[in-house]
Chains A and B, each alone.
Chain A
Amino acid sequence: MDTDSDVLLEVKGLRTRFRTDDADVTAVNGANLRLRRGRTLCVVGESGCGKSVTARSILRLIDPPGRIVDGEILLRRDGSDGRPAETIDLAALKPTGRRIREIRGRDIAMIFQEPMASLSLVHRVGNQIGEAIRVHNPMPRRQARQRVLELLDQVEIPNPERTIDAYPFQLSGGMRQRVMIAMALSCSPRLLIADEPTTALDVTTQAQIMDLLVGLQHQQDMALMFITHDMGVVAEMADDVAVMYLGHVVEKGPVDTIFHDPKHPYTRALLDSIPRIGGARRERLSTIRGTVPAPADQPSGCVFRDRCDFVMPGRCDRIVPPPIDLGPERHVRCLLHGGAEPEAEVTTSQEAADAG
């Protein structure tokens, strides 16, 4: 059984909002997540549901006009690396301040969706990784270079001696993502956030990169937050799963319970869309009816109700489903499973947002 000391990072009621003159988008609307030491949390959901914004909010990498307007992001340092054990609320730090900079790359590292665009094309690989090492552990260049060579070897780049002096535009997509991983691992972070690290790669390379990540995670005993919209990847990698829809975490729990006993209609729909190979014929993939509404005009009540096959008129459009506890670490936000009691009925989406 998990204890509280396993929790490395806890996101509570996170709301991140992009406010411009002509739009006001709440990209993450009250997300709760929990990351445990050494375990993998997969965050799934369709495009635009706020997965990347959640991840970037954790490291305070949201560019203006985006802003965290509510919630806590609690990082628990256990004191094992010589620094004092403490709990830091990342949401309360200044985004350009020194405290968050000490956490970036050192406690929490991140790799991004597009390996093509996420590396500087005019700086050598060795320079970019070496810099990541030296910003947290000042050391002579020669020593950092030695460490970079080790890292490149660790991420299974053939011929590190050559790659270290190459420019990223001379490398393939898979190699660039390996370089990104080496960079992220350079200060042995406790948590690695991987934002769809394989989406831009071909299938074979995808599998290799995922194997590499899983191997490194076990080896370094770090927590992994893996963002994807591929349920197949989730089945392969996850310990825990969080399903996001339109800025809300609609269901979360251990991977087995999510796959064998999905509660939220959206989770079920996502699971139905996995291609199954094996039968005499391959059935047509069922897709989810409708499209994700624009985050700017969120429906009242349950955000999924327009696309839900089990919608309850008069309830789902009036009540924001509260998180329902279904057992250890298992939550769902759907009125089918509770939360529709009369006293809750007065709360509409707007009021909940205002109150939050």
Chain B
Amino acid sequence: MWAFVTRRLLYMIPTLFVISLVSFAIIQLPPGNFINTFVAELRAQGQGVDNAQVRALEERYGLDDPFLVQYGKWISGILLHGDFGQSFQYQRPVSDLIWDRIGLTLVLAVCTTLLSWAIAFPIGVYSAVRQHSVGDYVFTFIGFIGLATPNFMLALIFVWISFRYMGESVGGIVSPEYADAAWNLGKVLDVVSNLWIPVLIIGTAGTATLIRVLRANLLDELRKPYVTTARAKGLPEWRVILKYPVRMALSPFISTIGWILPTLIGGEVMVSIVVSLETTGPLLLDALSSQDMYLAGSFILILATLTVIGTLLSDLLLALWDPRIRHAQTAKG
């Protein structure tokens, strides 16, 4: 097992290298060098920029160097000093801007995953074990609605409902009265109470998918001979089902850890804009449209890295979950 873990960690290095190259290439993509754009922008805003300042910037980013040298400066800045460069639009270091948002995105991802599991597991098991029951049809119907409704639409409906009937405006993760307060129980409760709506909205489609997958897998597994063997021992029915076929059908749950982050970021942009959450999605969108390339590149780098880590985690958990995977991997290494 440890050999497997080590090997998987080593495999990450080339992957991360390629990811960082691509992220940097994105930074370099806009035509012209960005210092010209920056200077032009400052001038347009009526600020004077002297040549010394421009040269200092050019020096710092090594704009006259070849691509790989520039890349080397950029990546070593990140690795050695945590320096992701400067956001032109906000006139602040990128690292000041992103960490809060990435933290919030991660919290959202973890909460969404846990909530979808908590909802999908009992419903999926019930729908498979009681196939063709009224409950199964009801859940299937609700599930399809969940799949078919766009998230931003759900978000709008939620905002409207809470405004109309509860008289409070949904928005932000931290309510205004706690904005500057230090972390205490009240603030935590406040965050939780603001978080559940976006979590629910973002989680619907994923939850509906998970229910479908679990139901289909479990239906397959329930007919397998090993289930009959377990019944023939005299075990109670619920124990037969939970210990054997459910165990086999659960692997997709673990795989979700690997793909939750990319789908979340794709799916949350609209929702976050609607309920004004300060997550990565809106800022990334903003950075891309205003060609704030250091900001955009840094987001892409960090999110891609987190996705790679998510995939690694889900692979390791799968190996723990299913001895066949573990042994196949060990035999290979």
A96: which B residues are within 8 A, CB to CB? 237
- Interface presence of B220 (CB below 8 A): no
Residue in B closest to A109 when the chains form the complex, CB atoms: B232
Q: A122-B323, A167-B323 given as contacts; is B225 within 8 A of A112 (CB)?
A: yes
A-B contact pairs, 15 of them (CB 8 A): A59-B232, A63-B223, A63-B228, A104-B233, A104-B234, A112-B229, A117-B226, A119-B229, A120-B244, A120-B248, A122-B248, A122-B323, A132-B234, A169-B327, A180-B229
Does B233 lie within 8 Å of A131, measured CB to CB?
A: yes
Shortest CB-to-CB span from A4 to chain B, Å, is: 28
Does A61 lie within 8 Å of B324, measured CB to CB?
A: no
Shortest CB-to-CB span from A297 to chain B, Å, is: 25
Told that A122-B248, A122-B324 touch, could you supply 10 new A-B pairs with CB distance under 8 A?
A: A59-B232, A104-B231, A104-B232, A109-B232, A112-B229, A120-B247, A123-B243, A131-B233, A167-B327, A169-B324
Which residues on A are within 8 Å of B, measured CB to CB? Answer: 56, 59, 61, 63, 96, 101-106, 109-110, 112-114, 117-123, 131-132, 135-136, 167, 169-170, 180, 183
A105: which B residues are within 8 A, CB to CB? 232-234
Does A132 lie within 8 Å of B233, measured CB to CB?
A: yes
Q: A117-B226, A119-B226 given as contacts; is B233 within 8 A of A135 (CB)?
A: yes
B247: which A residues are within 8 A, CB to CB? 120, 122-123
Q: Which of B223, B229, B236, B323 contacts A118 (CB 8 A)?
A: B229
Does B324 lie within 8 Å of A117, measured CB to CB?
A: no
Which residues on B are within 8 Å of A, measured CB to CB? Answer: 223-226, 228-237, 243-244, 247-248, 321-324, 327
Report the 9 A-B pairs with minimum CB-CB distance, sorted nearest first.
A104-B234, A105-B234, A117-B225, A132-B233, A118-B225, A105-B233, A101-B234, A120-B226, A118-B229
Does A106 lie within 8 Å of B225, measured CB to CB?
A: no
Residue in B closest to A59 when the chains form the complex, CB atoms: B232
Shortest CB-to-CB span from B332 to chain A, Å, is: 15
Does B235 lie within 8 Å of A131, measured CB to CB?
A: yes
Output the residue of B231, B234, B236, B322 with the most chain A CB within 10 A: B234
Q: A61-B228, A63-B223, A118-B225 given as contacts; is B234 within 8 A of A102 (CB)?
A: yes
A180: which B residues are within 8 A, CB to CB? 229
Q: A122-B247, A122-B323 given as contacts; is B224 within 8 A of A117 (CB)?
A: yes
Q: A112-B225, A118-B228 given as contacts; is B324 within 8 A of A167 (CB)?
A: yes
A168 to B248, CA, bound (A): 15
Shortest CB-to-CB span from B239 to chain A, Å, is: 9
Q: A106-B234, A131-B233, A135-B235 given as contacts; is B327 within 8 A of A112 (CB)?
A: no
A104: which B residues are within 8 A, CB to CB? 231-234
Does B226 lie within 8 Å of A118, measured CB to CB?
A: yes
B234: which A residues are within 8 A, CB to CB? 101-106, 132, 135-136
